[in-house]
C-alpha cells in the first residue's frame, strides 16, 4: 500500500472527515471476553512485519489456541514464511475497499488490530469491518476515531516501543521478543561470504528520496571496501536493478568485486545471505518528520 502522491492527498483530505464522522456515529467497545480469532492489518513493509512478530508471540501467550489472521499486501507476503507458528494469510489490495472488507469479514474475527500508524484508509477499513478494533493514533493523523481502543504512536521512539504499547492492550508485555523462523534456505548463487559486504541501497515508502544516500557516496564506499579486499553485493527487488547498475557503473571495478543480486533472491535466501555476510549496509528505515508536519 505504498502510496502515490494523489493517493496520499486523497487519504488525507477525504479520510480525515470520514473518520471523524465514523467516530461520531459509532460507540467505542471493550475487548470481547472470548477471543478465538485475531486479525492483524499489516499492508506493506517487510521490516514492519518482522518487528510485529513480538506482538504475534504476545498474542499467542495471552490467547492460547486463538487463530492469527494476517491481512497483508503483495510486497510483504514473502515475510510470512519467516514467521514462527501457524498463521492464516490473507493477501489484500487495500485500495479495493469492498474486496478487502469481504476478506476481513469472511474470517469471522473477534478483534482486528491495525498496525499502520499513518494511513487513514486502513483505519477506515478496520472501522467498517464491524469488529472490535485496536490501532494507532498518531499526531496530526486523526486516526483514533476509527478504533475502539486507540494507542498512541510516537515518532520519537523505536517502532518496537510503539508495538509494545499495542501489546500491552492484551496484557502486560514485559519483554517484547522479535523472533523469526530460521529457514536456512540455501542460496544457489556462489558468493564469497568471508569477504562479502551486502548493500541494500533502496529506501521504501513515500518520500523515499529523503532517506536515500547519494549514488556517488555508495560508489565511493564500494571502491574503498573493494580496495581493502571486500566484495560488494547489492540487494533489492527487480525494480531496484536499474539503481544497482547505475551505482556499479560509477564504482569502476571488475564484476567479481561488485555485483547486483537484485531480484535474484527470495526472502528466505536473502536471510541466509545476510546471516553469512561479513557486513550489511542499508538505507535508513525510519523517516522522522518535523513536528507538526503531516505524512
Number of residues assigned to the chain: 295
CATH of domain 193-282: 3.40.50.2000
Are 5-168 and 193-282 the same fold in CATH?
yes
Look up cell 544497482; give the residue: 244
- 72 has which bridge partners? 42, 91
What residues does each domain of the chain span? 5-168, 193-282
pLDDT of residue 43: 92
Pairwise CA distance, residues 242 & 155, whole Å: 32
Burial of 267 (0-12, 13-18, 19+ CB in 10 A): middle
pLDDT category of residue 16 using cuts at 50, 70 and 90: low
| pLDDT, tens digit (0-9, with 9 covering 90-100), for 46-61 | 889 999 999 999 999 9
| Cβ(113)–Cβ(135) below 8 Å | yes
Q: Which fold has domain 5-168?
A: Rossmann fold (3.40.50)
| pLDDT, tens digit (0-9, with 9 covering 90-100), for 227-282 | 999 999 999 989 899 999 999 999 999 999 999 999 999 888 888 899 999 999 98
Lowest-pLDDT range of 88-102, 200-214, 241-255:
200-214
pLDDT of residue 81: 84
Pairwise CA distance, residues 183 & 269, whole Å: 8
Give pTM, 2 decimals: 0.77
| pLDDT above 70 (res 193) | yes
State the CB neighbour count (10 A cutoff) for residue 50: 17
Amino acid at each position: 500500500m505504498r502510496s502515490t502522491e494523489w493517493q496520499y492527498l486523497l487519504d488525507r483530505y477525504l479520510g480525515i472527515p470520514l473518520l471523524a464522522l465514523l467516530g461520531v456515529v459509532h460507540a467505542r467497545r471493550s475487548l470481547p471476553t472470548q477471543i478465538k480469532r485475531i486479525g492483524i492489518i499489516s499492508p506493506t513493509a517487510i521490516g514492519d512485519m518482522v518487528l510485529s512478530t513480538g506482538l504475534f508471540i504476545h498474542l499467542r501467550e495471552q490467547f492460547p489456541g486463538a487463530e492469527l489472521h494476517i491481512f497483508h499486501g503483495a510486497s510483504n507476503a514473502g515475510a510470512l514464511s519467516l514467521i514462527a507458528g501457524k498463521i492464516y494469510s490473507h493477501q489484500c489490495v487495500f485500495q479495493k475497499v469492498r474486496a478487502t472488507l469481504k476478506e476481513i469479514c469472511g474470517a469471522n474475527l473477534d478483534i482486528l488490530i491495525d498496525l499502520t500508524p499513518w494511513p487513514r484508509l486502513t483505519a477506515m477499513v478496520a472501522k467498517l469491518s464491524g469488529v472490535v478494533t485496536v490501532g494507532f493514533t498518531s499526531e496530526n493523523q486523526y486516526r483514533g476515531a476509527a478504533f475502539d481502543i486507540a494507542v498512541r504512536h510516537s515518532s520519537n521512539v523505536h517502532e518496537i516501543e510503539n508495538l509494545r504499547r499495542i501489546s500491552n492492550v492484551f496484557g502486560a508485555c514485559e519483554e517484547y521478543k522479535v523472533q523469526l523462523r530460521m529457514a536456512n534456505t540455501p542460496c544457489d548463487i556462489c558468493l564469497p561470504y568471508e569477504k562479502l559486504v551486502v548493500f541494500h541501497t533502496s529506501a521504501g515508502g513515500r518520500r523515499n528520496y529523503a532517506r536515500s544516500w547519494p549514488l556517488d557516496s555508495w560508489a565511493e564506499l564500494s571502491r574503498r571496501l573493494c580496495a581493502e579486499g571486500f566484495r560488494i553485493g547489492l540487494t533489492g527487488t527487480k525494480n531496484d536493478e536499474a539503481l544497482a547498475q547505475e551505482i556499479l557503473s560509477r564504482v569502476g571495478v571488475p564484476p567479481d568485486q561488485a555485483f547486483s543480486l537484485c531480484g535474484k533472491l527470495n526472502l528466505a535466501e536473502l536471510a541466509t545471505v545476510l546471516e553469512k555476510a561479513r557486513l550489511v549496509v542499508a538505507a535508513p528505515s525510519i523517516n522522522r518528520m518535523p513536528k507538526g508536519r503531516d505524512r
